Amino acid sequence: MVETTRTAAVSPDLLLMLLADARLPTSGHTQSGGLEPALLGGLPEDGVVDYARTRLATVVRVDAGTAVVARGLALAGRRTDAVEVAWAARTPSPALRDASRDLGRALRRLALRVWPDAPALAELRLVRTPCRPRVVGLLGASLGLSPEQMARLVAYDDAQSVLAASLKLVPGDPAEATAALVALARDVEAVVTAVADLTDPSDVPATSAPLTEAWAQAHATAPRRLFRA
């Protein structure tokens, strides 16, 4: 059996890179950041970058704020149930809540396998279907990541998921997708600025994107699709 990772000996920067790696076995390849339903719903093919930017200004702030607050609660020795309730109230679409909890379940499994003794992860043994940002926040508390790193991780992951999915849905040059991700750096940092100081579940932003929610709901019953959401 592989020896369990000892987080105290691992640089937080390295751990951040690990969690941001698209090859992490957390079922991320099944998600398009809502791009597939958006394209099916009428988003023009040349609107992918604008779509990613809109997500960063809306639904991603909800997830990033949730992760930041969950981290703070865990470090204070408090459970994070209340922040998940706040997240769910700000994520009206059942399809998007289900997709996030699928990803959260996969990340939960990975977290408990790699860092089974981390105190901040103990509640995950009792919560089997947490939303993904809740698990990200608990990992941040366990691994010594800052609120800024938490928010940046959530924002980067969403943008790279959208742009990676675009290469399957709207075939193009991977170099262009990478350039687009770099071009979104300022928008990613805007997310960090907006949520890094949040401390209470009631502080989580309520920046919704109704059309994204509607596209996701329609996509949930689509008979043919590459991605779940």
**Tokens linked to 206:** 């309520």
pLDDT at site 226: 62
Tell me if 40 is assigned to some domain: yes
Look at residue 1 in the predicted model and tell me its pLDDT: 36
**89, 76 contact by CB (below 8 A):** no
Task: Return d(Cα 45, Cα 171) in angstroms, integer.
Answer: 10
Q: Would you say residue 68 lies in a domain? A: yes
Using a pLDDT cut of 70, give the percent of the chain over it.
Answer: 93
Residue 224 lies in a domain: no
What is the chain's mean pLDDT, rounded? 91
Q: Which DSSP category does 115 fall into?
A: -
Q: What is the pLDDT of residue 4?
A: 44
Query: Does some domain include residue 151?
Result: yes
Q: At what angle do helices 185-195 and 48-57 cross, to 10 degrees?
A: 10
Per the domain annotation, does 3 fall within a domain? no
Across the range 26-40, mean pLDDT stands at 86
> Could you give the number of structural domains in the chain?
1
Q: How far apart are CA 197 and CA 188, in angstroms?
A: 16
Range of the domain at 176: 11-17+31-215
> Of the given ranges (10-24, 49-63, 123-137, 189-203), which has the lowest mean pLDDT?
10-24
pLDDT at residue 15 in the model: 93
State the burial class of residue 61 (Cβ atoms within 10 Å of its Cβ: 0-12, 13-18, 19+).
Answer: buried
pLDDT bin (cut points 50, 70, 90) of residue 16 is very high
Q: Indicate whether 114 belongs to any domain.
A: yes
pLDDT at 208: 84
Report pLDDT digits (tens) over 160-214.
999 999 999 998 899 999 999 999 999 999 999 999 999 999 999 999 888 888 8
Average pLDDT score over residue span 79-92: 97
Confidence (pLDDT) at 22: 84
pLDDT confidence band for 2 (50 / 70 / 90):
very low
CATH of the domain at 169: 1.10.4190.10
Asked if the model's pLDDT at residue 85 lies above 90, the reply is: yes
Mean pLDDT over residues 75-98, rounded?
95
Confidence of residue 23 (pLDDT cuts 50, 70, 90): confident
Tell me the pLDDT band of 218, cut-offs 50, 70 and 90: confident
**pLDDT of 47 above 90:** yes
